[in-house]
A and B are shown apart, each in its own frame.
Chain A
């Protein structure tokens, strides 16, 4: 599946067009399988295709952060548009996630 790619110690997740609870269940469980089986330390969420996200997206990020942060892993958000950045900020995620262009 090309939505998930492991590069060195990073799991890259190409997020879908719309992130809601329906989609989030699948993304979270797949991500966890990669984190466990490939022993990746960091997770990069790529929002390039994403035009809609509700609080389920926050749940995906927080949940993965909890899984990797105890081993010193980091979470990154890339290609997030203004809307998604605002949603991340509203939830206080800028303290946990490195938001990059």
Chain B
């Protein structure tokens, strides 16, 4: 799922929003609310909103509890960088935490590095399922960046589910 996107034919940036917040779990809902507010002008369906909220929630939670190991240090900052290119949302969650040695293993469904924490190991699987595309980069002791793409205004799941 780590793909390189050819940007030569992507649409121009039409909006941008960048947030930095402390890596504490109270900010998981804050990040969801912020991204929801940011994409609301695109008239997303409820399904699309839920998809984006879930994916952002997973990525931010990973940054807080894995990247920064849930230390609660106010100097641990999670960055959320949102870009709109027409009706395509690009949202990148960046931390400068411990990073991952093996990204591929971390992305396996049900894999968790912290089984004692009641984690399900489904975070990356949900990000992949709910967004159109996912790129993960990580360096040990440098941090992790998770970039997700989703076109808003098309909802392939609606109808197939009900």
Contacts and interface: CB of A to CB of B under 8 A. Distances in A.
Interface of A: 18, 20-22, 24-25, 28, 52-56, 58-60, 62-63, 82-83, 86-87, 90-91
Contact of A22 (B29, B47, B162): B29
Given A20-B28, A55-B122, A55-B126, A86 B161 contact: yes
Contacts of A25: 25
Most chain B beta carbons < 10 A, residue from A20, A21, A59, A86 = A21
Contact of A91 (B26, B28, B53, B120): B120
Interface stretch (B57-65, B94-102, B136-144, B148-156): B57-65
A22 B126 contact: no
A20 B125 CA distance: 16
Interface class of chain A by DSSP: helix
Contacts of B28: 20-22
Contacts of B25: 20-22, 25
Contact of B26 (A22, A24, A54): A22
What are the 6 tightest A-B residue pairs by CB atom distance, in nearest-first order?
A: A58-B120, A22-B25, A55-B122, A63-B118, A54-B57, A59-B118
A37 B63 CA distance: 35
B126 to A, nearest CB: 5
B129 interface: yes
A52 B118 contact: no
Given A20-B61, A59-B120, A91-B120, 20 more contacts: A20-B25, A21-B25, A21-B28, A22-B28, A52-B53, A52-B57, A54-B58, A54-B61, A55-B58, A55-B121, A55-B122, A55-B125, A58-B120, A59-B117, A59-B118, A62-B120, A87-B54, A87-B126, A90-B129, A91-B122
Contacts of B47: 83
14 contacts: A20-B25, A20-B61, A21-B64, A22-B26, A25-B25, A52-B57, A54-B58, A54-B123, A54-B126, A55-B122, A62-B120, A83-B50, A90-B129, A91-B122
A55 B123 contact: yes
A56 B60 CA distance: 12
A60 to B, nearest CB: 7
A95 B58 CA distance: 23
A53 B157 CA distance: 17
A21 B54 CA distance: 12
Which of A24, A56, A62 has most chain B Cβ within 10 Å?
A56
